[in-house]
Amino acid sequence: MVAIPNELIELLSEANHVAVLTGAGISAESGVPTFREAQTGLWSRYDPEQLATPEAFANNPRLVWEWYDWRRQLVSSVEPNTAHYALAEMAARVPKFTLITQNVDGLHQRAGSDGVIELHGNIVRTKCFDCGRIAYNVQELQETSGQVPPRCEYCAGLLRPDVVWFGETLPADALNRAYDASRNCDLFFSIGTSGLVYPAASLPAQALSQNIPTVEVNPQSTPLSGAMTFILAGPAGELLPQLVALAWPHSSQETE
């Protein structure tokens, strides 16, 4: 049982603006393998960092497309977990809440969070590799053309998942809003991320540079653990509901 410091509970219950960065670990308890965990089955022989690149897609569009198809089906077959729901509850309790995610699984939105800042895009959305237009009828295109990946109906370019691959720049607006929140909030959480991928991993350091209390929620330690104000060394699915119940005791009775 991980003890949650009273000082953190007080900071959260009095916070005016809470900012949260999440990574693949928050979806682990939903059954979505984390990005760096050994991939299961067919994909176990591939390194995600080698597949999630424009070069991999250019070299073998079918392989990369099928990897994302597998992940899309996996994600659509799981449910958000208690950690996603606890963040949606927290957002309802604080005056200002900014949720920033590196995840591409859309589970925060399915748990009721809105205004989610998706730094790395979302595998549910598909766009054209060449003209960048979003494709809304992928299933139909795939069935009628039989092509894998299907092609853009405007320019016949290859369709790809609307995610940010390694070596690609993050959506500028999303990144600016994330930086802004990490520097202006009064409490920052880094949840379920190994802190290896930049520029997302620089967000907790941004908060710390402004002397904003910063909390890491992760069963493992990360390169940032040493600098954190608070460490909750356990699974987000257990710790976040506990934290919310302690910060807003009446809300837990309401939901019982």
Q: What residues are labeled active site?
A: 120
The distance of closest approach from Cβ of residue 99 to Zn ion in the complex, given in angstroms and rounded to an integer, is 31
Q: Which helix (H) or strand (E) element contains residue 250?
A: helix 249-255
Distance CA 88, CA 233 (A): 21
Fill in the per-residue mask, 59 to 88: x = in contact with ligand BV8 (CB under 6 A), - = not in contact: ------------------------------
Q: Residue 131 binds which entry of ligand BV8, Zn ion, none, with Cβ cut-offs from 5 to 8 Å by kind?
A: Zn ion
- Binding status of residue 182 toward ligand BV8 by CB under 6 A: no
With residue 69 as reference, give the H or E element that holds it: helix 61-76
Q: How many CA atoms lie within 13 A of 157 on its CB side?
A: 17
Q: What is the DSSP letter of 37?
A: S
Residue window 210-249: x/- pattern of binding to ligand BV8, with contact defined by CB under 6 A: -------xxxx-x------------xxx------------
Of the pair 33, 157, the CB lying nearest Zn ion is at 157
Work out what residue 33 binds among ligand BV8, Zn ion, none; the CB cut-off runs from 5 to 8 Å by kind.
Answer: none
Amino acid symbol at 90: M
The whole-angstrom separation of Cα 188 and Cα 185 is 7
Nearer to ligand BV8, 156 or 227 (CB): 227
Answer for which of 95, 172, 198, 256 binds ligand BV8 (CB under 6 A) is 198
> Residue from 54, 157, 171, 219 that binds Zn ion (CB under 5 A)?
157
The least distance separating ligand BV8 from the CB of residue 125, rounded to whole angstroms, comes to 12
- 79 CA to centre of own chain: 15
CB under 5 to 8 A by kind: which of ligand BV8, Zn ion, none does 155 bind? Zn ion
Q: Which pair of tokens denotes residue 160?
A: 């790809």
Nearer to Zn ion, 96 or 125 (CB): 125
Reported as type and span, the H/E element at residue 18 is: strand 17-22
Q: b/e for 142-159, b at 16 or more Cβ within 10 A?
A: beeeeeebbbbeeeebbb
Residues of this chain, 84-113, that bind ligand BV8 according to CB under 6 A: 102-104
Match 């730094």 to its residue by tokens.
Answer: 119
**What's the closest the beta carbon of residue 136 comes to Zn ion, in angstroms?**
13
135 with 127: CB under 8 angstroms? yes
Contact between 230 and 256 (Cβ < 8 Å): no
Residue 224's contacts (CB-CB under 8 Å, 6 or more residues apart) are 190, 195, 201, 204, 205, 216
Stretch touching Zn ion by CB under 5 A, among 20-28, 129-137, 205-213, 231-239: 129-137
128 forms part of the interface with Zn ion (CB under 5 A) = yes
Residue ranges in contact with ligand BV8 by CB under 6 A: 23-25, 28-29, 34-36, 49, 52, 102-104, 120, 163-169, 192-194, 196-199, 217-220, 222, 235-237
